[in-house]
Structure 1
Amino acid sequence: MRSVPTRAQSGQAAVESAIVLPLFVFLILGTLQLGLMHQARLLAKYAAYKAVRAGSLHNAKVETMEAAALAVLLPILSTRTSGEGGIEVVKPVGSAEEFQTKFEELKNNQMPGANLKYAEVTICGPTQEEVSGGGEFDFDDPDNIHPDGWRENHRTKLRIQLTLNFRLVVPFADWVIYKAARGREVPMLMRMGKMKAEEQSKTSTRRFGGAATGEGPYESAASQGIYIMPIRTTYTMRMQSNLYLGANALPASNACLFPFSY
Structure 2
Amino acid sequence: MRGRMNSRTTATQSGQAAVESAIVLPLFVFLILGTLQIGLMHQARLLTKYAAYKAVRAGSLHNANVKTMEAAALAVLLPILGTRASGAGGIEYVRPVGSASEFETKFNELKSNEMPGVNLKYAEVTVCGPTQEEISGSSGELDFDDPKNTTPSGWKENHKTKLRIQVTLNYRLVIPFADWVIYQAARGREIPMQLRMGKIKAQEQAKTSGRRFGGAATGEGPYESAAGQGVYIMPIRATYTMRMQSNFYLGTNALPGSNACVFPFSY
Structure 2 counterpart SS, 1:131: coil
Residue 202 (structure 1) shift? 4.4
Q: Which moved more, 1:132-141 or 1:46-55?
A: 132-141
- Structure 2's unaligned 5+ residue stretches are 214-218
1:85–1:192 CA distance, 2 compared to 1 (3 A)? farther
Q: Show the counterpart of 1:129.
A: 133
**Residue of 208, 211, 217 corresponding to 2:222:** 217
- Please list the CA deviations of residues 31-57 of structure 1 after superposition, one character each: whole Å capped at 9, or x if unmatched: 000000000000000000000000000
Residue 126 (structure 1) shift? 0.5
- TM-score normalized by structure 2? 0.88
Q: Show the counterpart of 1:31.
A: 35
**Residue of 43, 46, 53 corresponding to 1:42:** 46
- Structure 1's unaligned 5+ residue stretches are none
Structure 1 counterpart SS, 2:160: helix
CA-atom RMSD, angstroms?
Answer: 2.4
Q: Show the counterpart of 2:216.
A: none
Q: Show the counterpart of 2:95.
A: 91
Structure 1 counterpart SS, 2:96: coil
Q: Find out whether 1:59 has 2:63 as its counterpart.
A: yes
Alignment coverage as a number of residue pairs: 254
Residue 185 (structure 1) shift? 3.5
Matched letter for residue 242 of structure 1: N
Percent identity between matched residues is 76
Structure 1 counterpart SS, 2:133: helix
Residue 150 (structure 1) shift? 2.1
**Residue of 135, 148, 151 corresponding to 1:146:** 151
Residue 206 (structure 1) shift? 3.3
Structure 2 counterpart SS, 1:128: coil
Q: Find out whether 1:206 has 2:179 as its counterpart.
A: no
Q: Is the 8 A contact 1:79 1:89 kept in 2?
A: yes
| Displaced runs of 4 or more, over 6 A | none
Q: Is the 8 A contact 2:204 2:262 kept in 1?
A: no
1:202–1:60 CA distance, 2 compared to 1 (3 A)? closer
Residue 249 (structure 1) shift? 1.1
Q: Is the 8 A contact 1:159 1:234 kept in 2?
A: yes
Residue 145 (structure 1) shift? 2.5
Q: Show the counterpart of 1:246.
A: 251
